[in-house]
Amino acid sequence: MCTTFLRLRSTVSLTVLFVATRLAAQEIPPIAPPGLNLPHVVLLSMGGTIASQAPGDRLNITNYGGPGVPRVDPEKWVADLPDLALVARVTTEDFRPPANAPAAGGTTSDQLYKVAKRLQELANDSKVDGIVVTHGTNTMAETAWFMNLAVNIKKPVVFVGSQRPWSALSGDGPLNMYNAVRVAATPAAAGKGVLHAMNQNINAARDVTKLSAYRVQTFQSIDLGVMGVADPDIVKFYSEPTRRHTFKSEFNIASLPEKLPDVEVAYAYTEAPGYILDAMVAQGVKGIVVDGTGAGSPTGGPTGQTEAIKRAQAKGVVVVVTARTRGGRVQDTPRRRESGVIPADNLTPEKARMLLQFALSKTSDPKEIKRIFDEY
């Protein structure tokens, strides 16, 4: 009896020691098994590199897709990532243009309106807890910003993409996708506006921008840094957006005109001519964004941008200035107020252009437009 007891105690001790050792070494807590109460996340595909492949060549990470190359359907993402079923009940929707459609050179306004309307429908669907939108990285930040302005939603909306095709060796798409779904399924992500999740970082749609052509750490928020992280153990947020967005926005897809006012962007550089701005005005634009040097300065001189801005303003065109440095605000100085141009704070020119389009859809009053740039 004594011998049996000693053997039993020894077995129990070894088992406890083994379990304790495993737990001590375990960096990633176990994920709960799938159940009926998992959040419902809708995965909406707008295409992009993450939906591309280069058959037969896993080392091809820059030249992929194209005519005759099958695209990656959203259902394949779910099939390839059974791990998703551990964090959410994922359903898919495909909003890509048809495979045989001619290349449009990027996302079109028709696509933006179509997706925004669908996101608004999903926002009103009580059976949906979060949304993930895949997109090409070239203009992803603009599309996310559009949705941040146009969709009245408190549920998490997370944009995701990849720098390498789905078929690539060491592709970043699968982990980015998995983490984006995790973020969308996290209650703490609600009410923060449209988010961007790649490379384990979570950024606000307003602030994030693409800084590298091919590197996986391309998306960053230059001035403000990440809002949070999607680490293996937890999705963690460290800051909240202070600017108006989504459910706080005065704009909504239901009230936007069929076509937003025309706004163009002019780049400032040494001896940049004013005739480019004159040509824009002649084409009927309602607004111009000048991506200025330094802290947001157009080029001067009698044939430069400064005089062309005055001519444009005389014809009712609203002019906004950004800083090509991509870091730092365009400040509201006395000289700038005297010039009548509107500072875009720290928005990139493409985002300033989009916000100006939204603003001009409501008003042409420069004071009111400045108020909008101060609040968004």
Check pLDDT > 80 for residue 185. Answer: yes
The answer, yes or no, to whether residue 26 has pLDDT greater than 60, is no
CA distances in angstroms from 295 to 264, 268, 323, listed in the order given = 20, 11, 5
Q: What is the mean pLDDT of the chain?
A: 90
Question: Coil, strand or helix: which one is 236?
Answer: strand
Residues belonging to the active site: 49
pLDDT, mean of residues 25-42: 63
> In terms of Cα–Cα distance, which of 113, 89, 85 is closest to 41?
89
Residue 4 in tokens: 């049996």
**For residue 3, what pLDDT is reported?**
44
Distance CA(251)–CA(254), nearest Å, equals 9
pLDDT tens-place string over residues 71-85: 999 999 999 999 999
Does residue 290 sit in helix, strand or coil? strand
- How do residues 294-327 score in pLDDT, each as one tens digit? 999 999 989 999 999 999 999 999 999 999 999 9
Q: Residue 101's pLDDT band (boundaries 50, 70, 90)?
A: low
Coil vs helix vs strand at 335: helix
Which of the four pLDDT bands, split at 50, 70 and 90, describes residue 25?
very low
Q: Confidence band (pLDDT; 50, 70, 90) for 55? A: confident
Judged against a pLDDT cut of 90, whether residue 16 lies above it is answered with no
pLDDT in tens, 37-50: 899 999 999 999 99
pLDDT at 12: 35
Mean pLDDT, rounded, for 193-197: 98
How far is the CA of 113 from the CAs of 127, 130, 143, in angstroms? 23, 20, 10
The pTM for the full model equals 0.88
> Which residue type sits at 266?
A
Q: What domains are defined for the chain?
A: 40-248 (3.40.50.1170), 263-375 (3.40.50.40)
Which neighbouring-strand residues pair with 235? 230
Q: What separation in angstroms does the CA of 306 have from each of 115, 283, 286, 301, 353? A: 38, 19, 18, 7, 19
Pick the more confident residue, 26 or 178. Answer: 178
Mean per-residue pLDDT for 60-64?
81
Return the top range by mean pLDDT from 7-11, 94-98, 261-265.
261-265
Mean pLDDT of 232-249: 97
User: Which segment of 49-63, 151-165, 174-188, 203-217 scores lowest on mean pLDDT?
Assistant: 49-63
- 90: nearest Cα among 148, 140, 160, 139: 160
Q: What is the model's pLDDT at position 100?
A: 66
- How do residues 336-364 score in pLDDT, each as one tens digit? 999 999 999 999 999 999 999 999 999 99
Q: Considering only 26-30, 129-133, 281-285, which range has the smallest mean pLDDT?
A: 26-30
